[in-house]
Amino acid sequence: MNARLLIVDDETAQMRALCDTLEIEGYQPTGYSSAAKALANLRPGEFDLLLTDLMMPELDGISMVRTAREIDPDLAGIIMTGHGTIDTAVAAMQVGAVDYVLKPFKLNVILSVIERALELRRLRLDNALLQEREREHAAELAAAYKDLESFSYSVSHDLRSPLRAIRGFAEIFVSEFGADIPAEGLGHLDRVMAGAVRMDRLIEDLLRFCRYSRMALARRHVDLESVARRIVADVLAAHPDRKIEVQIGSLPACNGDPSLLEQVLVNLISNAVKFTRDQAAARIEIGSVAPSNIADLQPAACTYFIRDNGAGFDMMYADKLFGVFQRLHSEEQFGGTGVGLSIVQRVLQRHGGRIWAESAPDKGATFYFTIPAIAPQASGTQPDATTVDTEFLQG
């Protein structure tokens, strides 16, 4: 639709001539020689642009723009004056006019001023729409957060209570009447109790996922190599019966939340230990790679990896790897609920990083992940990401 122009000038002949000219140029002009009459007939949304003379007997142009914008705040204004001064321009801008033009004006001059004013109006409207959408989005996020809090409370209390009752009464029943229950019946009850235990683990992991998804980030310098060494020592101490060779290479410092990034390493290292369970000589390698070796990688990100020689998986199903409760192996093969990698991905996304994997069945798996790097001036000398540490930790 062609722009709708409201033209106000007490010199009737000049007003009509301008209307006729602008109509030929494709605009939709409406002219008034009376400022009071123009204001009386003005309705919100009726016009896109007001062109008003500065000196008029009923109302000066600056007051005209101010009053018109009180009726329609989206209306753009241009002052037409034969007495252009800096003071006139400043006063016009203060009441919401976007420009002014000197009389007598040439056609090409006023057309360029009109187009500039209309474009500025469009930008203002687009910006207002964007701000409104941001407010709506913020309100939706607040509502979703409230729903999540309510859901977490409901899961934690309302669902766990009957679950504890199922498990507790089943255990009491077996304890008190087990001698009179046939073996088949005991097997059914064992499955009931195992199902209750698994359901409780699922609830706990779901709550963990919700918690890590909404925890506020406390970003600071993180010495990831020290964190990795501590976690490896703890994990190996928890498996004294296994022989696991762990190689830790150079891990550059990064910028992030220490507790959340520790959870990332705990989950990935624990997974590597779990999925190498059937290997006579389990090997796990933790290190980093240079950004130039990874396609589409931001230079400001550090890339780390955790590689194992375990069960691996078919890359055909890699898109399911980080889904909540998604599993690529049966629980009989390897325990777990399938939430750990979802937490890892969520934490890294919140840090502005990402995670991906490379694997093949029975060929082990390598998980790569990125975290924003520490700026050299903030951390001193940046460690060389390609340096390999020859230390081995034995389980």
More confident residue, 340 or 79: 79
**Does some domain include residue 113?**
no
Chain-centroid distance, C-alpha 371: 15
Confidence band (pLDDT; 50, 70, 90) for 385?
Answer: very low
| 31 within some domain | yes
Residues 6+ away with beta carbon under 8 Å from 85: none
The answer to whether the beta carbons of residues 100 and 89 sit under 8 Å apart is: yes
pLDDT at residue 273 greater than cutoff 50? yes
* pLDDT of 320: 76
Is 239 domain-assigned?
A: yes
pLDDT at 321: 78
* 318 pLDDT more than 80: no
Lowest mean pLDDT among 76-85, 119-128, 240-249, 305-314: 76-85
pLDDT at 333 over 70: no
> pLDDT value at position 209?
67
> Radius of gyration of the chain from Cα atoms?
35
0.85 exceeded by pTM: no
pLDDT band at 220 (very low <50, low <70, confident <90, very high): confident
pLDDT tens string 154-168: 666 666 777 888 888
327 and 281 part of one domain: yes
Give the CATH number, domain containing residue 57: 3.40.50.2300
Q: Average pLDDT for residues 240-260, to the nearest whole number?
A: 89
User: What are the CA-CA distances from residue 150 to residues 158, 210, 223, 377 (Å)?
Assistant: 11, 11, 36, 44
CATH number of the domain to which 339 belongs: 3.30.565.10
What pLDDT, in 10s, does the model give residues 25-82?
Answer: 999 999 999 999 999 999 999 999 999 988 888 888 888 988 999 999 989 888 888 7
**Within-domain flag for 180:** yes
Per-chain mean pLDDT for the chain: 80
Same domain, 74 and 19: yes
> Given this model, what pLDDT does residue 359 score?
86
| Phi, psi of 165, deg, nearest 5 | -65, -45
Say which residue, 185 or 286, is predicted with more confidence. 286
Q: What is the C-alpha to C-alpha distance for residues 260 and 290, in angstroms, rounded to an integer?
A: 24
Whether 373 is in a domain gets the answer yes
Mean pLDDT of 167-171: 86
Q: Per the structure, how many domains does the chain have?
A: 3
pLDDT at 367: 92
Query: What's the whole-number mean pLDDT along residues 249-276?
Result: 89
What was the pLDDT predicted at 306?
93
Among 27-31, 181-185, 192-196, 202-206, the range scoring the smallest mean pLDDT is 202-206
Domain boundary among 187, 214, 241: 214
The answer for 115, left when phi > 0, alpha when psi is -120 to 50, beta otherwise, is: alpha
Higher pLDDT, 198 or 170: 170
Pairing of strands 49-53, 4-8: parallel
Predicted pLDDT at 386? 30
Helical packing angle, 183-214 and 340-350, nearest 10°: 0
Residue 49 has what pLDDT? 92
Residues 333 and 265 both lie in one domain: yes
Judged against a pLDDT cut of 60, whether residue 328 lies above it is answered with: no
Question: Which candidate, 328, 375, 352, 228, places its Cα nearest to that of 288?
Answer: 228
**Contact predicate 54/48, CB 8 Å:** no
On whether the CB atoms of residues 32 and 8 are closer than 8 A, the answer is: yes
> Quick one: 99 and 236 in the same domain?
no
Quote the domain boundaries for residue 60.
Answer: 4-105
Q: Are residues 234 and 273 in the same domain?
A: yes
Query: For the chain, what percent of residues have pLDDT higher than 90?
Result: 23
Cβ-defined contacts of 38-46 (< 8 Å, 24+): 38/6, 38/8, 38/64, 38/68, 39/64, 39/67, 39/68, 39/71, 42/6, 42/68, 42/71, 42/72, 43/71, 43/72, 44/71, 44/72, 44/74, 45/72, 45/74, 46/4, 46/6, 46/72
Could you give the CA distance from residue 75 to residue 78 in angstroms, rounded to a whole number? Answer: 10
**Average pLDDT rounded to a whole number, residues 343-359:** 88
pLDDT at 145 over 80: no
Q: Is the same domain home to 224 and 208?
A: no
Dist. CA 123–CA 119, nearest whole Å = 6
Determine the average pLDDT of the residues in 207-215: 68
Does 122 reside within a domain?
Answer: no
Cα distances (Å, whole numbers) of residue 351 to 220, 230, 324: 12, 22, 19
CA separation, residue 333 to residues 50, 193, 202, 383 (Å)? 75, 20, 18, 39
Kindly report the number of other CB atoms within 10 A of residue 150's CB atom.
10
Tokens of 134: 């941001």
Specify the pLDDT at position 230. Answer: 92
Q: Looking at residues 272-299, what average pLDDT do you find?
A: 77
| Strand 355-359, strand 365-372: pairing | antiparallel
Are the CB atoms for 42 and 72 separated by under 8 Å?
yes
* Residues in a beta bridge with 355: 369
Rounded Cα distance between 354 and 294, Å, is 13
Q: With 0-12 CB in 10 A as exposed, 13-18 as middle and 19+ as buried, what is 180?
A: exposed
Q: Is residue 26 part of a domain?
A: yes
Res. 92 pLDDT band, cuts 50 70 90: confident
Q: What percent of the chain has pLDDT over 70?
A: 80
Whether the Cβ atoms of residue 309 and residue 329 lie closer than 8 Å to each other: no
Indicate if the pLDDT at residue 103 is higher than 70: yes
Nearest of 372, 369, 344, 374 to residue 354 by alpha carbon: 369
Alpha helices in the chain (DSSP H): 12-24, 35-41, 61-71, 86-94, 107-153, 160-177, 183-214, 224-237, 258-275, 340-350, 376-379
Q: 229 and 360 share a domain? A: yes
Q: How do the residues of the chain divide into helix, strand and coil, expressed in percent and rounded to 5?
A: 50, 20, 30
